[in-house]
Amino acid sequence: MKFGGSSVANKQQIAKVTEIVRAARDASARVVVVCSAHKGITNALIETARAAQAGELTPRRVLDRQAEIATSLGCAPSLLKPFFAEIRDLLRGINLVKELSPRSLDYISSFGERMSVRCIADFFLRAGVRARAFDIWDLGFITDECFGNARPLAGYEDAMRDAFATQVPEGTIPVVTGFVGKTRAGEITTVGRNGSDLTATLIGAALRAREVQIWTDTDGVMTADPSVVEGARNIPTMHFDEAAELAYFGSRMLHPSTLLPAIANNIPVRVLNTNRPEHRGTVIQDRVDPSGNVVTSIAYKERQTVLTINSVRMFGQSGYLARLYEVLGRHGVVVDMIATSEVSISLTTNTREALERALPTLRKFGRCEVEEGKTILVVVGHGLYDARGMGARILGAMSTAGVNVEMVSFAARSINFSMLIDDRDIGRAVPVLHHELFS
Q: Which residues bind ligand ASP (CB under 6 A)?
A: 4-5, 36-37, 42, 112, 178-179, 193-196
| Residues in binding contact with Mg ion, number by CB under 5 A | 2
Element (H, E) at 204: helix 196-207
CA distance 76 to 179: 25
Our CB check for Mg ion shows the closer of 221 and 345 to be 221
Secondary structure (3-state) at 254:
coil
Binding site partner of 195, from ligand ASP, Mg ion, none, Cβ cut-off 5-8 A by kind: ligand ASP
Q: How far apart are the first and last CA of the chain?
A: 33
Contact pick of 2, 4, 87, 355 for Mg ion (by CB under 5 A)? 4
Q: Which partner, ligand ASP, Mg ion, none, binds residue 178 by CB below 5 to 8 Å per kind?
A: ligand ASP
Nearer to Mg ion, 4 or 431 (CB): 4
Among 194, 340, 351, 400, binds Mg ion (CB under 5 A): 194
194 or 351: CB nearest Mg ion: 194
Dist CA 384 CA 69 (whole Å): 47
Nearest approach, Cβ of 187 to Mg ion (angstroms)? 24
CB of residue 409 vs ligand ASP: minimum separation in angstroms?
A: 31
Q: Is 304 helix (H, G, I), strand (E, B) or coil?
A: strand
Minimum CB distance to Mg ion, residue 329 (Å):
31
Q: Which of 148/391 has CB closer to ligand ASP? A: 148
DSSP conformation letters of 104-153: HHHHHHTHHHHHHHHHHHHHHHHTT--EEEE-GGGGT-EE-S-TTS--BP
Angle (CA) 31-37-38 rounded to 5° is 105
Task: Indicate the residue among 183 and 216 with the shorter CB distance to ligand ASP.
Answer: 216
Question: Based on CB atoms, which residue is closest to ligand ASP, 180 or 243?
Answer: 180
Which option in Mg ion, ligand ASP, none does residue 112 bind, with CB closer than 5 to 8 A by kind? ligand ASP
Give whichever of 4 and 366 is closer to ligand ASP, judged by the CB atom. Answer: 4
Q: 150: exposed, middle or buried (C-beta count within 10 Å: 0-12, 13-18, 19+)?
A: buried
Let me know the angle formed at the C-alpha of 418 by 270 and 304, rounded to the nearest 5 degrees.
Answer: 95
Closest approach of Cβ 131 to ligand ASP, in Å?
A: 20
Find which of ligand ASP, Mg ion, none residue 220 binds, CB within 5 to 8 Å per kind.
none
CA distance 10 to 38: 7
Q: Which of 130, 201, 112 is nearest to 168 (CA)?
A: 130
Cβ proximity to Mg ion, 112 vs 366, nearer residue: 112
Residue 179, binding choice from ligand ASP, Mg ion, none, Cβ under 5 to 8 Å by partner class: ligand ASP
Tell me how far apart the alpha carbons of residues 293 and 35 are, in angstroms, rounded to a whole number. Answer: 33
Residue ranges of alpha helices (H) inside 237-280 are: 240-248, 260-265
- Piece of 105-113, 187-195, 389-397, 417-425 that binds Mg ion (CB under 5 A): 187-195
CB of 387 to ligand ASP, least distance (A): 36
CB of 376 to ligand ASP, least distance (A): 24
**198, 191 in Cβ contact below 8 A?**
yes
Tell me which stretch binds Mg ion (CB under 5 A): 1-9, 335-343, 349-357, 410-418: 1-9
Rank residues 216 and 418 by Cβ distance to ligand ASP and give the closer one: 216
Residues in the chain: 439
Output 147 or 179, the one with its CB closest to ligand ASP.
179
Residue 71 interacting partner from ligand ASP, Mg ion, none (CB closer than 5 to 8 Å by kind)? none
DSSP string, 69-92: HHHHTT--GGGTHHHHHHHHHHHH
| Least distance from ligand ASP to the Cβ atom of residue 280, Å | 23
Tell me the C-alpha to C-alpha distance, in Å, between residue 120 and each of 20, 48, 64, 214, 232: 13, 24, 17, 17, 33
- 416: nearest Cα among 437, 392, 385, 393: 385
Report d(CA 332, CA 350) in Å as an integer: 11
The least distance separating ligand ASP from the CB of residue 255, rounded to whole angstroms, comes to 8
- In the complex, the smallest distance separating the C-beta of residue 408 from ligand ASP, rounded to whole angstroms, is 35
Chain positions contacting Mg ion, by CB under 5 A: 4, 194
